[in-house]
């Protein structure tokens, strides 16, 4: 069975996610409406502007569809802005969020756009050596609790977390040629 992966396409970096999952021979499609979200086995919330994505989720009713998808046990992965939207706590902000993961995050924690960088990280659960990672105005996780567990860190700052069927990365795996993080997520979808 081919997994159907929805890439939330309201704003931000969704096209590169579509390309990455297409390379893995699964059905990847942009989703903008509640029913499109509900028709997926897995959902990616991409990088972009977290406040804008949040507002658009609420405006189009996609927020309720994501919550229902989560309740059904589908896998959901947030990258960068998506990580912020999945967090229960956002330091210094009362912006809207889905609040599904037992994590606190700090927005733009590594600096501005000009401070973007790439590095290799060891990721728990991903074999065959370090993963190349791209950080762009990235958040990081300042605290985990409950069932959330850190999977990767940079300078002692948690940048990848899993909690059950939820995955969050501060970095952008879709911007490299390495598809191991996408394959890891597909494994979550198929469980």
Active site residue 57: no
Assign 3-class secondary structure to 20-38.
HHHHCCCEEEEECCHHHHH
Active-site residue (options: 17, 40, 57, 172): 172
Q: Answer yes or no: 80 catalytic.
A: yes
17 noted as active-site residue: no
Q: Which of 36, 64, 80, 118 is catalytic?
A: 80
Catalytic residue among 25, 64, 174, 177: 174
Tokens of 162: 């899993």
The label of the residue with tokens 């060891």 reads: 122
User: Which three-class secondary structure state does DSSP give residue 15?
Assistant: helix
Let me know if 35 is exposed, middle or buried by CB neighbors in 10 A (0-12, 13-18, 19+): exposed
Residues tagged active-site: 80, 172, 174
């Amino acid at each position: 069975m081919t997994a159907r992966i929805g890439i939330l396409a309201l704003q931000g970096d969704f096209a590169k996610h579509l390309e990455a999952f297409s390379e893995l021979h699964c059905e990847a499609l942009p989703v903008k409406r509640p029913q499109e979200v509900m028709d997926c086995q897995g959902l990616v919330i991409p990088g972009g502007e977290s406040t804008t994505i949040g507002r658009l989720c609420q405006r189009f009713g996609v927020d309720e569809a994501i919550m229902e998808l989560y309740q059904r046990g589908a896998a959901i992965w947030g990258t960068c802005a998506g990580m912020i939207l999945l967090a229960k706590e956002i330091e210094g902000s009362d912006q809207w969020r889905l609040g599904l993961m037992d994590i606190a995050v700090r927005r733009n924690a590594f600096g501005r756009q000009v401070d973007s960088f790439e590095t290799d990280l060891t990721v728990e659960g991903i074999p065959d050596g370090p993963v190349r990672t791209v950080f762009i105005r990235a958040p990081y996780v300042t605290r985990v609790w409950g069932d959330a567990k850190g999977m990767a860190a940079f300078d002692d700052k948690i940048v990848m977390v899993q909690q059950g069927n939820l995955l969050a990365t501060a970095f952008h795996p879709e911007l490299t040629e390495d598809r191991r993080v996408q394959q890891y997520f597909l494994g979550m979808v198929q469980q």
